[in-house]
Structure 1
Amino acid sequence: MTNEELQTLVKTISIDVFKKPFLHQAKHNPRLRTTGGRYMLADHTIEINPLVFKVHGMDELVGVIKHELCHYHLHLEGKGYRHRDEDFRKLLNETSSPRFCKPLAAQNKKSTSFYIYECESCKLKYKRKRRVNVQKYRCGKCAGAISIQINK
């Protein structure tokens, strides 16, 4: 879908669902990673992640556009346009817009690697995701010196 087609779709949805014109620009933004779209307060632009259409299809794209148009119209009217505002939640329900976008890609689970430290005195083991400066810290149980045992 091109930016011109997206612009036409946003204008059509704005008139059909909100009964108000969309007078600004709508465009694709492939740099969006975790969100389906966003509304820019400064210039009233709506940016849509092109993956929404590729991954989930037209229905999800229309939902994301309706969600961003809720922000757009409420902001221009001077009403509460943020997710936590009552005006925003009310307009979402009235237009049957989704509150959240479906996940666009499988979340990259960080590797389960961790560091295992061991007290040299009492042999208590400590599992940590982050590296610890063993010169700076001591065992919490016996105040003994800590050494790294395994770096997984």
Structure 2
Amino acid sequence: MNHSELQQLTEQISQQFFGEKFRHKAVFNDRLKTTGGRYLLGTHDIELNRRYLEEYGKDELIGIIKHELCHYHLHIEGKGYQHRDREFKELLQQVGAPRFCTPLRDLQNKRRVQKRHDYVCTGCGQHFIRKRRFDTSRYMCGVCKGKLKWHRTIDSV
């Protein structure tokens, strides 16, 4: 599916389910990684993740387009367009749009390994675990004011 076909599909869905025209652009944005699509408040354009079409098919893409069109039409009308707004939730139900899209398969199975740094106080033995490594000569123990020393790196999931 190319950009013109996506634009045409979005306009058709807008007319069919919302009874109003979609007057802005709908494009694929290949930089989207964790979301199916997004509605841009400033330009009123809709960006969609092409990988949802490739992995789950046209039906999933249509659901995402409906979701983004809910944001679009409510924002244009000056109503509550955010996920937490009652008007948004009601419109989602009326048009049969999903509230959340299905997670991508590779993101489901991929666990991000985060490194943690374990520091120990030479005075009292207190351990401090931090995400970022730091210069131990600039800091001291918050318990006993003793010197800190780097102990080890911990890989956590």
Q: Could you state the TM-score of these two structures normalised by the residue count of structure 1?
A: 0.86
Distance 1:149 1:17, change over 3 A: same
The 5 Å alignment of 1:120-139 reads 120-139=122-141
Aligned amino acid, residue 114 of structure 2: T
**Aligned alpha-carbon RMSD (Å):** 2.0
Aligned partner of 2:101 in structure 1 is: 101
Q: 2:82 matched to which residue of 1?
A: 82
Residues of 1 paired with 2:71 and 2:26: CA distance? 13
Q: Which residue does 1:53 correspond to in 2?
A: 53
- Unmatched 5+ residue regions in structure 2? none
Structure 1 residue 7 displacement after superposition: 1.3
1:21 corresponds in structure 2 to 21
With over 3 angstroms needed to count, the CA separation of the structure-2 counterparts of 1:47 and 1:151, relative to structure 1, is closer
| Identity rate, percent | 47
Q: Tell me by how many angstroms 1:111 deviates.
A: 2.4
Q: Which amino acid aligns with 2:82?
A: R
Structure 1 residue 128: Cα displacement: 2.2
Query: TM-score, normalization: structure 2?
Result: 0.84
Give the counterpart letter for 1:142 in structure 2.
C
Task: Tell whether 2:54 aligns with 1:68.
Answer: no
Structure 1's unaligned 5+ residue stretches are none
Deviation per CA, 1:86-111: give whole Å up to 9, x if none.
22111111112111222234165442
- Dislocated runs of 4+, deviation >3 Å: 107-110
Instruction: Tell me the number of residue pairs that the alignment of Structure 1 and Structure 2 aligns.
Output: 152
